[in-house]
Structure 1
Amino acid sequence: MYMIKAKTLKQGDSIGIITPSAAAPVKFKARYNRGLNQLRKMGFHIIEGKCSNKSQAYRSSTIKERSEEINELIYNKKVKAIISTIGGANSNSLLPYIDYEHLKKDPKIFMGYSDVTALLLGIYAKTGLTTFYGPAIVPSFGEFPELLPKGKEYFENVVQLNRRAPYTIEIPEYWTEEMIDWSTQDREKQMVQNDGWKCLKPGSATGRIIGGNLNTMSGFIASDYFPSVKDSILFIEDSFKDMATQERSLSMLKVAGVFDEIKGLIVGKHEHFDDLNSPFTIEDLLLEILGDTNIPIITNVDIGHTFPSHVFPIGIGIELDASNGCITFLEDAVME
């Protein structure tokens, strides 16, 4: 696939804000505003999408309006990056209505995580544009009292080119999955010592990094919006799922032939995983499902729903050295 990269995000640039699924800006207005102010303190201008103030039960607005919100920011020449407010459950509804051809002509940084996986992979599949599995406004930039320093560093390393490739991404010393009610939070989350990244199967491989939230993939995996994973390094992560659900989701990748095509696998930390008192671990389950598939695998990686999380640029070349627990970005994700 021919790759496209957006330009480096610089201070003074405008960032467009989208709410493609859950109505978090309405439900958690203070945290949303804190996230916007965090970006302003980092030197960026904010252009809010029209769904930021809308709420329809489980979603922000209609499929039409949410699609229009994205396209209006794609058409806006001032906008250099588009960042989601949060995930949800229904970003896949928007995939048929995004103006991919215009995005090819005016590439922008497109970032989010969780349910936004559908948009990130869909855009990459249709355009070849590198997209970014990274922080969202409400859960990440809006953290109390501010964005975690390491989260800020990882964001700036990738989209502002504070680090130039090739470089090996670090294992954060501390992390958290603590849940505090966003409406009443009045203290920082408790951080705990990081156990590090774990080699489940040794070996090394290079390839394009592709992936996202495992649960979200079920909403579009057999479609034209799911990119080819042949010879890629796949990353997956999930949140608040149980062992039975994970067996179903991992087996979805198995029966779809994904594990037969990839060259390596990165598994992120699972936020608040429920093992259902199973007499085996999630790693045991993964190996059971993989069967004879022999690829390097690393688990417990800081990506997705736990914090701080690395920004993974979908489509760039990386090296996975599972034997030594290393992930190296081999190319920059944006252009100067």
Structure 2
Amino acid sequence: MHIRFPSKLVAGDLIAITAPSTGVPPSLHPRLDLVIKMLEARGFRVIEGHCLRTVYKNKSADKILRAEELKNFLTNPEIKAILPPWGGELAMELLTLINFAELAKLEPKWFSGFSDLSTLHVPITTLSGWATLHGPNLMELAAELLDPMTQKIWEVLTSDREMVITQQSSSFYQKDHSDWIANPKAGLNLTEPTQWKRLDGKSTAIDFKGRLIGGCLETISRLAGTQFANLPQFYQQHAKDGVILYFESSELKPCELTRALLSLKMHGWFNHISGLLIGRNMEQQVAHSTQQNAFDAIHSVLSDLAIPILYDVDIGHVAPQLSLVNGALAHVFFNENGSTISQYL
């Protein structure tokens, strides 16, 4: 599968906003309005979908309506990017309603976000050949002042193709979320020291290369063994370049995380890859406990793999997070004094 990259976004481009998973409740419409004004201030035109400003039973709308709107936006040549407000829970309902083979014949456009949006990223990249962007959700971009890591998403979206985008590891992460209802302009609350770590406990520098693929473990792990996430096939297609798998977990309890990882191991997701990046998980901070914790989960399942494995990486629900392009060639440099990841668009 040849990976195709969307064109860079420029002033005048049309950006569509729809919620293929969970919609935005009225209490957060001020935040949504702010981010739309921000897009317009950058010179973009914005179209809102009907499946956006309502929430019912964890969804923005019925699955048929959500799928039709997303398909219309994906196939409309005037639209250059689709930026959902955030993820949610049930994007999986849409998979059998989207013709990914049809998308493979069309010019790619940016589809960006994280969490449940990974459910759509993976098949769009592996079945349709579009590079997709796993990074800060649109609602995070409404902040009056963006932190440097979150700000990097705009470099990815607006840089010329063939560019190399390098991102640094963060120094602090967010433990307590800002209240977007009380302060719609709030940014991240970065207070806790953080550092990428090697799973083998070593501190020596390492580096590795490969094409990126991955996302939120809660959602993409459910797709293992299906046509929508045939990662062993993706690895085979890109064996010459190698593949870097990445994932993060937002809410899996340690034993469920262990089971999810064991299942993926049995499905061959950790075979024939160049390296593995694991996002920061709050429970990994639990050091001495008689109960299984998140670190125990990843260590017990993955420590026997003969590949570089980094954890506490800036990916996912414990902000800030990197902007990772599924399908892009990446070069990861680990150093205990600061790490980087460079992506070739």
TM range (shorter): 0.7 to 0.9
Query: For residue 256 of structure 1, what is the aligned residue in structure 2?
Result: 267
Q: Displacement of 1:323 after TM fit?
A: 5.8
Query: For residue 114 of structure 1, what is the aligned residue in structure 2?
Result: 115
Structure 2 unaligned blocks of 5 or more: 236-241
Q: Displacement of 1:25 after TM fit?
A: 4.7
| TM-score after normalising by structure 1 | 0.88
Where in structure 2 are the equivalents of 1:3-82 lying within 5 Å?
Answer: 3-26=3-26, 28-82=28-82
Distance 1:287 1:323 in 2: 20
Query: For residue 130 of structure 1, what is the aligned residue in structure 2?
Result: 131
Query: For residue 286 of structure 1, what is the aligned residue in structure 2?
Result: 298
Distance 1:167 1:133 in 2: 14
Report which stretch shifted further, 51-60 or 274-283: 274-283
SS of match in other structure, 2:211: strand
Which letter does structure 2 place at the counterpart of 1:170? Q
Q: Does residue 340 of structure 2 align to residue 331 of structure 1?
A: no
Distance 1:42 1:306 in 2: 27
Q: Does residue 101 of structure 2 align to residue 98 of structure 1?
A: no
| TM-score after normalising by structure 2 | 0.86
Q: Displacement of 1:61 after TM fit?
A: 0.8
Give percent identity, aligned residues only: 28
Q: Per-residue displacement from partner, 1:166-206 (whole Å, max 9, x unpaired)?
A: 45421233331312443334765532253221122464332
SS of match in other structure, 2:3: coil
Q: Structure 2 vs 1, CA of residues 62 and 126 (structure 1 numbering), >3 Å: closer, same or farther?
A: same
Q: Structure 2 vs 1, CA of residues 241 and 71 (structure 1 numbering), >3 Å: closer, same or farther?
A: same
Query: For residue 191 of structure 1, what is the aligned residue in structure 2?
Result: 190
Report which stretch shifted further, 265-274 or 9-18: 265-274
Q: Per-residue displacement from partner, 1:103-137 (whole Å, max 9, x unpaired)?
A: 63121111110000010001112111100101222
Which letter does structure 1 place at the counterpart of 2:225? A
Report which stretch shifted further, 279-288 or 94-103: 279-288
Q: Per-residue displacement from partner, 1:211-238 (whole Å, max 9, x unpaired)?
A: 0001111332221111424241111112
Q: Per-residue displacement from partner, 1:142-164 (whole Å, max 9, x unpaired)?
A: 34xx3523245311221111897
Q: Displacement of 1:92 after TM fit?
A: 1.3
Distance 1:149 1:256 in 2: 38
- The count of corresponding residues between Structure 1 and Structure 2 is 329
Q: Structure 2 vs 1, CA of residues 147 and 66 (structure 1 numbering), >3 Å: closer, same or farther?
A: farther
Query: For residue 179 of structure 1, what is the aligned residue in structure 2?
Result: 177
Q: Structure 2 vs 1, CA of residues 170 and 243 (structure 1 numbering), >3 Å: closer, same or farther?
A: same
Q: Displacement of 1:34 after TM fit?
A: 1.8
Query: For residue 308 of structure 1, what is the aligned residue in structure 2?
Result: 320
Distance 1:23 1:308 in 2: 22
Distance 2:71 2:191 in 1: 41
Q: Structure 2 vs 1, CA of residues 99 and 280 (structure 1 numbering), >3 Å: closer, same or farther?
A: closer
Contact 2:231 2:269 in 1 (8 A): no
Structure 1 unaligned blocks of 5 or more: none
Q: Structure 2 vs 1, CA of residues 287 and 220 (structure 1 numbering), >3 Å: closer, same or farther?
A: same
Query: For residue 249 of structure 2, what is the aligned residue in structure 1?
Result: 238
Which letter does structure 1 place at the counterpart of 2:49? G
